[in-house]
Structures are given as C-alpha cells and as structure tokens.
Amino acid sequence: MSFTLHGIAVSSGIAIGRAHLVSHTSFEVSHYTLPKNLVADEVARFDAALQAARAEFANLRSHPPAMAAAEFDTFLELHEMILADTQISVAPREMIEREQCNAEWALKIQTDQLVAQFEEFEDAYLRERQMDVRQVAERLLKHLVGHPGHQPPVRQDVETILIAHDLSPADLIQFKPQQFAAFVTDLGGATSHTAIVARSLNTPCVVGLHHARTLVREDDLLILDGEQGVLIVNPDKHVLAEYRLRQSERELERKKLKRLRTARANTLDGTPIELHANIEKPEDIADVRENGATGVGLFRSEFLFLNRNDLPGEEEQFEAYRAAAEGMDGQPVTIRTFDLGADKQIKGAERVASNPALGLRAIRLCLAEPQMFRSQLRALLRASHYGNIKILIPMLSSASEINQTLQFIDATKTMLEAEGIPFDRDIKVGGMIEIPAAALALNVFTKKLDFLSIGTNDLIQYTLAIDRTDEEVAHLYDPLHPAVLQLLSHVIGTCNKLGVPVSLCGEMAGELPYTRLLLGFGLRQFSMFSAQVPSIKQRVLTSSLSQVAPLTQKILRADDPMKIRELLDRLNGG
C-alpha cells in the first residue's frame, strides 16, 4: 500500500531507495516472538550484552576520560548500581524465557517498569534518576544491537534510505558520504546538529516524521523529497517516474551552478560578498574548494571528539588544523574552539544536565577544563604558522568570559614562545554572537575581539526559547520573528559602523529566501554548508543592494508576520 508522511525538510535533494530501519540510537525497539529452540540463544545474547556493558563500565572506571567531570566517578557508580539491579539484569532474562520474546523487547518492558517506579518518588532528586535508568538501558541496548543476530544487513545492491527514530550528530558523522541515499528520523529539528551534518554530507534528510520508524517496513520502496519534507512509501509507477524526472532535472541544475565555481560573488552593483563554508573535519576541505567557497567560516572542531572513547591530543589536533589550513592555501580558516555539551557529548563523559542547551557547554566547558582547552589552543596556534587560521570562541555571554579566554590565549602564546615554537603572532580571535545577551551588549564584544560571527541557530533558539532539536516546537522556530530580525540588523549594522568584521555562519546563511534580506542588513560575509555555496552565489549575482535596501527597512518596521512574509516574497522577486 502506498502512503505519504510529512516531516521537516532539513537537507534538500530527492532520493529513491529501499528502507533500512535502525533502532540503535534510541530506546525504541522491535518486538517479535522467537521459536522455542532459539530462546536459549536469545538469553545468551542478553547475557553477553550485560557482560559487555559491565566491562565497559570497568574500563571507564580504570581509564576515566582526561576531562571527566569531578562527579564522573559517582555518576559511574550510580550507573553500575542500576545495571546490577535485578529489574535490569535478571527480569529481562526471565521474560525472554517466559514469553519467548526478543531481548530488546524484554529490556524495554522491564526498563519502563523501573522508570515508572522512579516517577512515583516524591523526592525530585530520586525522580530525576529515571534519566539514569534510561541511559543505562540504552547502553545495554547498544551492546545488544552490536550483537544483532537478527538485524538485516544494509543492502549493497540498491540505494538505501536510513530510517531511525533518532540519530545523533555523532551517529551521522561516521557514515561515509553516499553510504546512504537519504536519512529519515522521527525526532529532530531543522537546525539540530544532526540536520547540519546531513547537509554537509550533501544527503537529503527529513526529520520530525513522528512515526516513520513504526510505519515503514524494511526494504519498502521509498521516495524522499528533502525539499518538501515528504516521504512517499511504496509509490506507484507514475509517481516514481515523476520523481525520477525531478531527480535528473535537479542534477542538471547542480551541474550548471557548478560552473559558477570560480566567478566572484559580486552583487549587481559591484559589491563583493565573501561566501565561506562550514566544515566538521579537515577532509571536508575538498568539498569547500569544489564548490568555490573562498574560506572556511566555521570549522566545528568538536566533531574531532565524537565517536571515540579518548580525547584527541595536541598532536592529533595540530595535524587536523594544519591540514585544513594548508588545504585552503592561504585563504582564511576560522576554527571554532570546542562547542561540546548539549547535543554533542564525548563518549563515556556524557553529562546529565537538567537543561543541556543552557548548561556547561562550549566556552563554559572549556574554561572549566583548562587542560583540554590549553591543548586545543596550543594545537591551533602551532597550526597557524602553516596557513591563515583565525580562532572563534562559541557561546560567549559576558566580558569576564572574553577576558578569561583572551588571557588563556596570551598565556599559551607565551608558553610557545618560550619553547621556540613558531605561530602567527597576529592571529585574529573572534567571538560568536549566539546568545541574545551578546547581541544586546555588543560593545563589550566589539571592543575586545577582532571579528564576530553570528550563530543564528542558537541565537534564534535562545531568543525565542525554542529547543532547536525538538520537533514538537519546530513550527515555532522562526528566523523571521521581529525580535530575531531586530537583533540581526542591530549586530550587523553596529559592526559595520565600527569597522568590526562580521560574518553569519548559522543555517540562515545558506537559505536562499534570506540572502537578500541579510544583504539588506549590511551582511557581506556568509558561511554555509559547502554544497549550498553555488546557489547562494547565483542569488548574490542577481541582487542589487540599492533595490534591496528600502524593502529591507520596510521588513524591519513591520511587526505582522504575514506582512513580513509578503515583503520578503517581494524582496525575492515573488
């Protein structure tokens, strides 16, 4: 039977392929009955997973991550206790034997019961421990899935579309480009890091589909329209033909745009615009160059940390930063210091913050972990000798954070000098404007920093109090909210007046409907996922600043959302 599901379009393109369902990234599992003769094997599979989880804890205890929080040991102890609880370690075994069900299902049912018991506690601290129960169960579940015995392998003979309840950025980053034709998840928001990674892999992706994981079956034929956010399951031959046609038209269009690779991005009135790219790994530089970006506006260095149990040392980081700098051949490479925390956590050192987006994240975490921060700064400064590196600090909110950070950088420079290690003495240090407080108290930032970069993904999240990873509130995430527009215009305008270079590296920079609006605000430097550079360049080439300016002012004065959208359409020639 053919049917259609609608979600949030986060990475464009059309994919046609067979469904491959995964369940390892969240606590949602399949349920099936086993023949009697396989029950003992299933119990053994559960026992093996339990052993593996115990060994993992023992290993973490003897080799705690270098930057483990002070409470790491207590946290581990608690998780080991939960793992030893009979409801987690014994009851699922009994249920597999009694009901002949699969191990994941038994674990899920028993965990749900234990969580329900925790929910009953009056004491808030104890009640919150249900999160720990879930985390332990998920750890165990990952080991179960690591020894699947039943999960169908990914087909190699056809294009495959990955369907998951949820995927973390760490999950996605380990897929090779083109390993999957598309990604589909039930959870997630448009500017979550999962969406950002899908875009940088240039792979179509739709999130927030709610029930795709339960409604789609393994091997179903699928069409994913990453532009419209639509998933068509088992399409008939007419629909399939229509989408194949659209797919080849898009491909043709992309090829045409690629011809703009070496063209300068000047507006119709001759103003040059810098189009830079966002990357996650040094290997992404090839794409940056292929798409004609003239610099890296944001290297999300924290991706070096994901999917591993140890920390990358100074040497490894130095090599990564140097490779990026050399790969860009003198063009600027803006490397952001680690933005860890929230939805990007180091394996084994996951922190359980009650509100991760507002917690010990990014520069806050770096300042709290001087050893880790120092080794990154040493690596960055050393690599600066080999290219045009700039340092970008995420999530700054106050003068004292800026001062502490700059002191750290100065102290690191002094250290390298004493060791006779070369580095760029004039290296530029910039800050991200992604917290409303920073946008409003801009003077503090313009006085102390060499350049600024606006992170609209977080700026919108914090201005509108909308969790960017939560599909339940994704419809409220609005880049055109008057408050957001006022902040953007204020930051860009003030920087231009003061002569402080300002760039925008949030997802808005790569979205065509906003290009002219941002040009109208005075933005002259954009940074986006590489594949989008040619389209944005084409839009710049067909934009006239003198025509854009009056309409932009009208948009800024408007407060009715309908009116704002109507004016934006006019700005875009609609």
Q: By CB neighbour count within 10 A (0-12 exposed, 13-18 middle, 19+ buried), where does 76 fall?
A: middle
Is residue 527 helix, strand or coil?
Answer: strand
Q: Which amino acid is it at 549?
A: A
Angstrom distance (rounded) from CA 15 to CA 184? 11
13 near ligand PEP, rule: CB under 6 A: no
Q: Is there a contact between 99 and 13 (Cβ–Cβ < 8 Å)?
A: no
DSSP-assigned letter for residue 154: P
505 near ligand PEP, rule: CB under 6 A: yes
Q: Work out how close the CB of 455 gets to ligand PEP at its nearest, in angstroms, rounded to a whole number.
A: 3
Nearest to residue 529, comparing CAs of 169, 8, 11? 11
Angstrom distance (rounded) from CA 473 to CA 453? 26
The count of chain residues that interact with ligand PEP, using the rule CB under 6 A, is 11
The single residue among 92, 169, 455, 534 that binds Mg ion, judged by CB under 5 A, is 455
525 near ligand PEP, rule: CB under 6 A: no
Is residue 164 helix, strand or coil?
Answer: strand
DSSP one-letter string for 131-161: HHHHHHHHHHHHHHHHS-SSSPPPPSSS-EE
Q: Which does 506 bind (CB under 5 to 8 A by kind): Mg ion, ligand PEP, none?
A: ligand PEP
Q: Is there a contact between 467 and 183 (Cβ–Cβ < 8 Å)?
A: no
For residues 396-435, which are near ligand PEP according to CB under 6 A?
434
Cβ of 490: how many Cβ atoms within 10 Å?
A: 15
Q: How far apart, in Å, are the Cα atoms of 199 and each of 11, 43, 528?
A: 5, 41, 10
Q: Which does 12 bind (CB under 5 to 8 A by kind): ligand PEP, Mg ion, none?
A: none
Q: Which amino acid is it at 226?
A: G
Residue with Cβ nearer ligand PEP (108 or 468): 468
Q: Work out how close the CB of 174 gets to Mg ion at its nearest, in angstroms, rounded to a whole number.
A: 22
Q: Which does 474 bind (CB under 5 to 8 A by kind): Mg ion, ligand PEP, none?
A: none
Q: Work out how close the CB of 284 gets to ligand PEP at its nearest, in angstroms, rounded to a whole number.
A: 14
Cβ of 84: how many Cβ atoms within 10 Å?
A: 14
Residue with Cβ nearer Mg ion (456 or 530): 456
From 79, 193, 276, 481, the catalytic residue: 193
Angstrom distance (rounded) from CA 114 to CA 120? 10
**Spatial CB neighbours of 400, under 8 Å, sequence gap ≥ 6:** none
Q: Work out how close the CB of 458 gets to Mg ion at its nearest, in angstroms, rounded to a whole number.
A: 4
300 near ligand PEP, rule: CB under 6 A: yes
Angstrom distance (rounded) from CA 532 to CA 140? 40
For residues 308-347, which are near ligand PEP according to CB under 6 A?
339
Q: Work out how close the CB of 522 gets to ligand PEP at its nearest, in angstroms, rounded to a whole number.
A: 19
Angstrom distance (rounded) from CA 561 to CA 415? 53
Distance of CA 419 to the CA centre of its chain: 37
Angstrom distance (rounded) from CA 224 to CA 205? 8
- Choose one: 96-104, 215-223, 449-457, 482-490; the region binding ligand PEP (CB under 6 A): 449-457
Nearest to residue 308, comparing CAs of 270, 344, 351, 258? 344
Q: Which does 511 bind (CB under 5 to 8 A by kind): Mg ion, ligand PEP, none?
A: none
The single residue among 92, 455, 510, 534 that binds ligand PEP, judged by CB under 6 A, is 455
Q: Which does 101 bind (CB under 5 to 8 A by kind): Mg ion, ligand PEP, none?
A: none
Angstrom distance (rounded) from CA 11 to CA 201? 9
The single residue among 11, 456, 469, 543 that binds ligand PEP, judged by CB under 6 A, is 456
Distance of CA 461 to the CA centre of its chain: 14
Q: Work out how close the CB of 342 gets to ligand PEP at its nearest, in angstroms, rounded to a whole number.
A: 8
Q: Is there a contact between 165 and 185 (Cβ–Cβ < 8 Å)?
A: yes
Q: Is there a contact between 251 and 291 (Cβ–Cβ < 8 Å)?
A: no
- Choose one: 56-64, 147-155, 403-411, 453-461; the region binding Mg ion (CB under 5 A): 453-461
From 101, 205, 495, 505, the catalytic residue: 505
Task: Tell me if residue 495 is catalytic.
Answer: no
Q: Work out how close the CB of 436 gets to ligand PEP at its nearest, in angstroms, rounded to a whole number.
A: 12
Q: Which does 505 bind (CB under 5 to 8 A by kind): Mg ion, ligand PEP, none?
A: ligand PEP
- Choose one: 13-21, 23-31, 86-94, 448-456; the region binding Mg ion (CB under 5 A): 448-456
Q: Which amino acid is it at 542?
A: T
Angstrom distance (rounded) from CA 388 to CA 382? 12
- Choose one: 148-156, 259-267, 384-392, 455-463; the region binding ligand PEP (CB under 6 A): 455-463
- Choose one: 208-216, 451-459, 469-477, 515-523; the region binding ligand PEP (CB under 6 A): 451-459
The single residue among 23, 200, 384, 457 that binds ligand PEP, judged by CB under 6 A, is 457
Residue with Cβ nearer ligand PEP (79 or 300): 300
Task: Tell me if residue 505 is catalytic.
Answer: yes
Q: Work out how close the CB of 59 gets to ligand PEP at its nearest, in angstroms, rounded to a whole number.
A: 30
Residue with Cβ nearer ligand PEP (166 or 339): 339
Nearest to residue 430, comparing CAs of 359, 495, 509? 495
Measured at the CA of 515, the angle between CA 511 and CA 518, to 5 degrees, comes to 120
Q: Work out how close the CB of 364 gets to ligand PEP at its nearest, in angstroms, rounded to a whole number.
A: 14
- Choose one: 44-52, 234-242, 309-317, 453-461; the region binding ligand PEP (CB under 6 A): 453-461
For residues 407-436, which are near Mg ion according to CB under 5 A?
434
What's the farthest any 2 CA atoms get from each other in the chain? 77
Rounded to a whole number of angstroms, the CA Rg of the chain reads: 25
467 near ligand PEP, rule: CB under 6 A: no
CB hemisphere CA count around 401 (13 angstroms): 21
225 near ligand PEP, rule: CB under 6 A: no
Residue with Cβ nearer ligand PEP (46 or 299): 299
**Spatial CB neighbours of 247, under 8 Å, sequence gap ≥ 6:** 14, 16
356 near ligand PEP, rule: CB under 6 A: no
- Choose one: 64-72, 114-122, 152-160, 450-458; the region binding ligand PEP (CB under 6 A): 450-458
- In the complex, the residues that contact Mg ion under the rule CB under 5 A are 434, 455, 458
- In the complex, the residues that contact ligand PEP under the rule CB under 6 A are 196, 298, 300, 339, 434, 455-458, 505-506
Residues noted as catalytic = 193, 505
